[in-house]
Structure 1
Amino acid sequence: MQNSLKEEMVASPAAAPSLPRLARPRLHDTVVEHLRQFIVEGVLTPGTKLNERELCETLGISRTPLREAFKVLAAEGLIDLSPNRGASISQMSESEVRENFELMSGLEAFSGELACERITPAELAEIKALHYAMLVCRTQNDLPGYYSRNQEIHDRINEAARNSALRQAYQSINRRLQAMRFRSNQQSEKWDQAIDDHEDMIKALEARDGKKLAAVLKRHLLEKRDAVLPLVSGDGMAGQRMRG
């Protein structure tokens, strides 16, 4: 049998600390952020049924803000809500993972092309600073810190594209893929390959070479797809064993 959710959170190095008591206006957003972090970093894995009582104890909150957060995450496709079975972490099929990564590769490639046309020197400097901070995290073997900066780089490139329709589509798909993008770097050679790709991204941005950046971003996302598909297959098999 699986350990309780609380035991998993204590055992996992990726688990966030208990929340401090917060002012009501910020509480809802903070709960959403922490649950999203738990999902991305694998503290809450695909198919896990969420225990409201244990989550409330862990986060130091009542059930009302927790249920409000569930609704937000359900709208993002991160959790499934059922009137009879409660809430559980969403689990994509292999075909859904493949298709979403393929779509994201196109969105990121288009973001790169537009960003090279529209990025400002200040925005480029901020992305380079994030890149160097990301490299420091790699030397410290800090995967959560690395991933946070990695994702911010991708997000800043998308922002620099200055296309609101593209931005909306990018954010919607990316939320569903973040946990798998995080897992794709858990193998050392995959992590190092991702860093090489980011070096190429910076060079293309500096040169304002949209075609080059688009090609790097597309390859980068498709490589992540190939890295996570075997993991998704394993998740599916584990889920079948649990249900049986």
Structure 2
Amino acid sequence: MTEVRRTRGRPRKTQQPDAKPLLVTVGLHEKVSHHLRDMILTGALAPGRELVEVDLSAALGVSRTPVREALKLLAVEGMVELRPNRSARVPDLQPEAITQLFEAIAGIERIAAELAAARITDAELTNLRILQDEMEGYHRATDLAPYFAINQRIHRLIVGASRNKPLQEAHESLYGRAELVRRRALRTPERWDESVAEHRAIFHALEARDSSRAGTLLSDHVSRTGTVVLRHVTAAGRSAEATQAGVQ
């Protein structure tokens, strides 16, 4: 309660919102969203899995409210699919959707790399070189989780270096959905080796301020990843169909 002075009469006390509980609530649902995002990306919550609020709140030891708000955040990122009068679910991208998704990201990153080659700062290039070296180290150690995290930072750094806000917003709105399936491609040893080499070539093109080459290399890199992901998803679907037919 806060006392408000009046020019006439007795001071009147008014109820003002307490900021602390609000901050705690905001922090909690963001923490829940980070945790759920990690579970989705690592496969602990698999594609097609229903996300029942009461089950998640019990498992995470929180009320349903932060879980509900976290699911809304993840839905904006494309990591969760909200369904009217039904539980949310982890989306299971179909082949056509995967093709369209990677086509869009490849186009966005091509333009971003072309702009970045002209606009990237020396400090950003230094940071990019450090990230590239760290990523290659994790590749040699076959440690996928930190490799993948740095890989994401590199893509976002390049897009950010374009200094084009609409491009960044469009990229961020799609990138979460791609994360759901990109790890599948990197689990293929030969694609992982190719990806590292492609990233090194992209860095050299940016360092040389070669806009055309940087754009082409990054676009081709994303497209090849999409092709491998599509092949993996298609093969997995055929395997599942064969198993189901065998059971019947």
With normalisation by structure 1, the TM-score equals 0.84
Residues 32 and 69 in structure 1, CA contact (< 8 A), matched pair in contact too:
yes
* Residue-by-residue CA offset, 1:156-183 (whole Å, 9 max, x unaligned): 0000000011011111111111121122
Aligned to 1:129: 130
User: Corresponding residue for 1:34?
Assistant: 35
Amino acid at match of 1:36: R
Cα distance in 2 for residues equivalent to 1:54 and 1:35: 13
State how far apart, in whole Å, the 2-side matches of 1:70 and 1:113 are: 35
Alignment of 1:66-85 (within 5 A): 66-85=67-86
Name the CA distance, whole Å, in 2 between partners of 1:83 and 1:170: 27
1:88-99 correspondence to structure 2 within 5 Å: 88-99=89-100
Instruction: Provide the C-alpha distance between the structure 2 equivalents of 1:112 and 1:82, rounded to a whole number of angstroms.
Output: 36
Letter in structure 2 aligned against 1:183: R
CA distance in 2, matches of 1:233, 1:88: 21
Aligned to 2:213: 212
In the other structure, the counterpart of 1:65 is 66
Residue 117 of structure 2: aligned partner: 116
Query: Matches of 2:82 and 2:176 in 1, distance apart?
Result: 17
Q: Do the aligned partners of 1:46 and 1:235 also contact (CA within 8 Å) in 2?
A: no
Q: Distance in 2 between matches of 1:72 and 1:235?
A: 29
Distance 1:166 1:139 in 2: 33
Task: Name the residue aligned to 2:201.
Answer: 200
In the aligned structure 1, how far is the partner of 2:155 from the partner of 2:229? 19
Distance 1:25 1:87, change over 3 A: closer
Identity %, equivalent residues: 38
CA distance in 2, matches of 1:25, 1:75: 16
TM-aligned CA deviation for residue 234 of structure 1: 4.5
Report the CA distance between 1:235 and its aligned residue: 5.2
Instruction: Report the counterpart of residue 6 of structure 1 in structure 2.
Output: none
Give the SS at the match of 1:162. coil
Indicate if the aligned counterparts of 2:33 and 2:73 stay in contact, CA closer than 8 A.
yes
The higher radius of gyration belongs to 2
Distance, in Å, in 2 between the alignment partners of 1:234 and 1:64 is: 39
Q: In the alignment, is the contact (CA less than 8 A) between 2:138 and 2:144 conserved in 1?
A: yes
TM-score of the two chains, using structure 2 as the length reference: 0.83
Q: Give 1:171's aligned amino acid.
A: E
Contact 2:113/2:215 (8 A) holds in 1: yes
Letter in 1 for 2:39: F
Structure 2 equivalent of residue 181 of structure 1: 182
Confirm or deny: 8 A CA contact 2:25 2:66 kept in the other structure.
no
**Gaps spanning 5+ residues in structure 1: where?**
1-21
Amino acid at match of 2:70: A
How well do the aligned residues superpose, as a CA RMSD in angstroms? 2.1
Q: Secondary structure at the match of 1:46?
A: coil
Counterpart AA for 1:232: V
Residues 33, 141 of structure 1: CA spacing in aligned structure 2 closer, same or farther, 3 A cutoff? same
- For 2:93 and 2:82, locate their aligned partners in 1 and report how far apart those are by CA, in whole Å: 15
d(CA) in 2 for partners of 1:189, 1:43:
25
Partner of 1:153: 154
Shift of 1:82: 2.4
Aligned residues: 221
Q: 8 Å contact 2:76–2:173 — kept in the other structure?
A: no
